[in-house]
Structure formats: C-alpha cells, structure tokens
Amino acid sequence: MIRFISVVLIIFAYGRSQVTENEENCPGSTVNNYILGPDGYTMQPTVYTGESPKQGKPGKRGTQGEPGLKGNKGTRGEPGQADNTAEELQMLKDEVAEMKTKLEFYLTPPSCDYINRTEKTSGTYVISPDLWTVQPFSVYCNFTGETETIIEHDSMNEIQVTSCEPNKCYKRQIRYNVAMEQIVALIQRSSECRQFIKYRCIDSVLLYGSQSDRGAWLSRDGTHMKYWGGATSQRNDYCACGETGTCVNSNLKCNCDANSQTETADEGFLTDKDTLPVTGLQFGDATAPGEYGWHTLGPLICTGRSE
Ligand SMILES: *[C@@H]1O[C@H](CO)[C@@H](O)[C@H](O)[C@H]1NC(C)=O
Ligand SMILES: *[C@@H]1O[C@H](CO)[C@@H](O)[C@H](O)[C@H]1NC(C)=O
C-alpha cells in the first residue's frame, strides 16, 4: 500500500516539476509545459493565473488526498481514513497502472509505434518501453511502411568466418548499443519482433552434416539455438528450405548442409520473442582453402503494441 501511494506521489511530483521554471511568467500567459489535468489522467497546457496554488481535495475513498493539480506549489490534501480492503487496493493499483500508461505516452513514447508519425520523419528517437524498470534509450524509428522500432548492433555487415574446422570453432559475440534489459522491455512492449539471419557458404556445413551441431546462433540468455532463420516450426536442424522441401539437396534441411563447392545460402527471419535478440554466432567446417562461410545478421526490428 505504502509503495503504491509513494509511486502516485512521485508521478505527481514529476508532473509538477515540469512547470516550476515558469513561475515568473505574467498572469494569464500560456506556457508550453504540460501538467496533469484535473481528472488526474490527461495532460493539458498550464496557464499561469497568478493566483495562489489551490489546495488539493481530500481523498475520495478514504485513502489518500488528491494532490493539488493546478497550482505550481499545490500541496497534498488531507489523508483520509485508511481502509485497506482488497477492493480499494485493486482500485488504486488500476489507477496507478492507467496513470503510468498516460504518462509514458506524454513523456517518452514506449516505442516508435506510439509516436504520431504524421508530422515526423524516420530517424533517431528516445523511447521508454517501461518507465519504471528501464532507462529511456535511443532507437531508429522507420516510419516508411509499418512503423518499425530498430536496434542495431556491432556486426551489421556481412562478415567472413575465419578459417577453422571443429564444430562452433568460430565464435562471434554480438554487441548492442543498449542494455539487454532495455531490449527485452521493448520486445515485451511490441506485438512482433524479428531479426534477419543469413549464412552464405562454399563447402561449409551450417547446422548438420556428418556431425550435428556445426553452427548455431545464441539466444538472449546465451543458449545455443539449432534452427535457422525462416524455419517457422523452430525444429532443430531446420532451415527455411527444409520446412518447404526446397533445399538444393531435397534430403537435407539446409542448403549449406549439402556441403557443396557450389556457393549457396540459408537465410530468413527469427521471430521468437522469448529468445531474441541474437547475442552470438558460431560456425565450424570453414577451413580455407576450399571451405568458406559468411554471416549476416540484421538489426532487431519490433512492430506493433503489446500492452
Ligand atoms: C497526429 O498529428 C496530426 C497532425 O498534427 C493530427 O491531425 C492527428 O490527430 C494526430 N493523431 C493522433 C492519433 O494524435
Ligand atoms: C524502412 O522501411 C521500409 C519499408 O518497409 C524499408 O524499405 C526500408 O529499408 C526501411 N529503412 C530502414 C533504414 O530500415
């Protein structure tokens, strides 16, 4: 109970802090800052009236007085009688949750999808997928087509696998410019996320040849994942062509697993929100001269909303 009340007070304090710098303005002047409106949920521009800040009203349900909403220095109302019924607690929780959603919308958008794109251009924006658990961070917002929130990493271009033979002998860590907890908050706030992954090969097995577990991508928590992009069933050893029976060798589940001297590739999107983003890439069977592999990993792209 105390925690929820504190949170409410912090939120109101934040709202009020937005207008303190305008105390010198002339009476009646309109200022550009926004403050929580009288209903406690919607924001509205502040108009400095020159009057003393108003006292907040006493709490409606005997829990906590409402903060003064209009005045720059409005003080809190008198606390009512404490009444800790489960129903009251739930109402307060609901109220706080709704307030949080409104604040996120007006202060920092949870993702690019919450930005009104009619008057914006694609570019870098600050988002805050969860106002209470992670710091805001910068992403690329793509407003062409469906709005995309994009997080890049340090291995965006195609990279050649350095010569080595045993399973997973080549290891590349993928580093993002924002913390994993921030990325996960965005994923949880989005309805869909995807990441493109590709292995281009000459005589280099990707997932399964005479030995299994040749290559893998590492999940969010570092688990070796044994299916490839585009394999929607997520079954081990499957690439996209294996799902549709269209691999260069129709008995196999990946083009590269044919281990052929003819260049080929396996590619597609990873879409599992529980395991994205990719944190590492590992390959083997790429001993030069003769065996070559190249990997490409796209940025993490999230779309839609998940409340
Ligand atoms: C987005 O901005 C445009 C232009 O300012 C406005 O007409 C429209 O109502 C806004 N949409 C939303 C959902 O706020
Ligand atoms: C933005 O989205 C459009 C349409 O989906 C796509 O063609 C373009 O490559 C994207 N731009 C970036 C920078 O991702």
In a domain, 200, yes or no: yes
For the cut 60, the answer to whether the pLDDT of residue 49 exceeds it is no
- Within 13 A of 21's CA, how many CA atoms are on the CB side? 6
Closest ligand to residue 117's CA: 1
In a domain, 295, yes or no: yes
Q: What is the pLDDT of residue 71?
A: 36
The domain that contains 249 carries what CATH number?
Answer: 2.60.120.1000
Across 39-55, average pLDDT: 39
| Residue of 43, 105, 116 with the most ligand 1 atoms within 8 Å of its CB, for mutation | 116
In a domain, 38, yes or no: no
Higher pLDDT, 274 or 210: 274
CB atoms closer than 10 angstroms to residue 188:
14
Which residues form the domain of 161? 154-303
Q: What is the pLDDT of residue 97?
A: 85
Q: What is the pLDDT of residue 104?
A: 65
In a domain, 55, yes or no: no
CA of 248 to the centre of ligand 2 (A): 30
Q: What is the pLDDT of residue 259?
A: 95
In short, whether 84's Cβ falls inside 6 Å of ligand 1 is: no
In a domain, 192, yes or no: yes
From CA 296, how far away is CA 229, in angstroms rounded? 11
Alpha-carbon Rg for the chain in angstroms: 27
From CA 182, how far away is CA 270, in angstroms rounded? 19
Residue 144, token pair as written in the block: 């062409």
Q: What is the pLDDT of residue 66?
A: 40
Residue nearest to atom 10 of ligand 2 (CA): 142
User: Helix (H, G, I), strand (E, B), or coil: what is residue 124?
Assistant: strand
| Residue of 114, 118, 143 with the most ligand 1 atoms within 8 Å of its CB, for mutation | 118
In a domain, 231, yes or no: yes
The pTM for the full model equals: 0.71
From CA 298, how far away is CA 102, in angstroms rounded? 33
Q: What is the pLDDT of residue 141?
A: 98
In a domain, 102, yes or no: no
Residue nearest to atom 3 of ligand 2 (CA): 144
For the cut 50, the answer to whether the pLDDT of residue 60 exceeds it is no
* Position 80, amino acid: G
Q: What is the pLDDT of residue 101?
A: 72
Residue 16, token pair as written in the block: 């009020």
Q: Name the one residue in this structure whose structure tokens are 């997928």.
A: 129
For the cut 60, the answer to whether the pLDDT of residue 56 exceeds it is no
CA of 117 to the centre of ligand 1 (A): 8
CB atoms closer than 10 angstroms to residue 6:
10
How many domains is the chain built from?
1
Residue 24, token pair as written in the block: 């010198």
Residue nearest to atom 10 of ligand 1 (CA): 116
| Residue of 124, 139, 144 with the most ligand 2 atoms within 8 Å of its CB, for mutation | 144
- 296 with 198: CB under 8 angstroms? yes
Residue 142, token pair as written in the block: 């793509």
In a domain, 263, yes or no: yes
Residue 67, token pair as written in the block: 């903060």
| pLDDT per position as a tens digit, 144-189 | 999 999 999 999 999 999 999 999 999 999 999 999 999 999 999 9
Count of positions (residues) in the chain: 307
Higher pLDDT, 29 or 135: 135
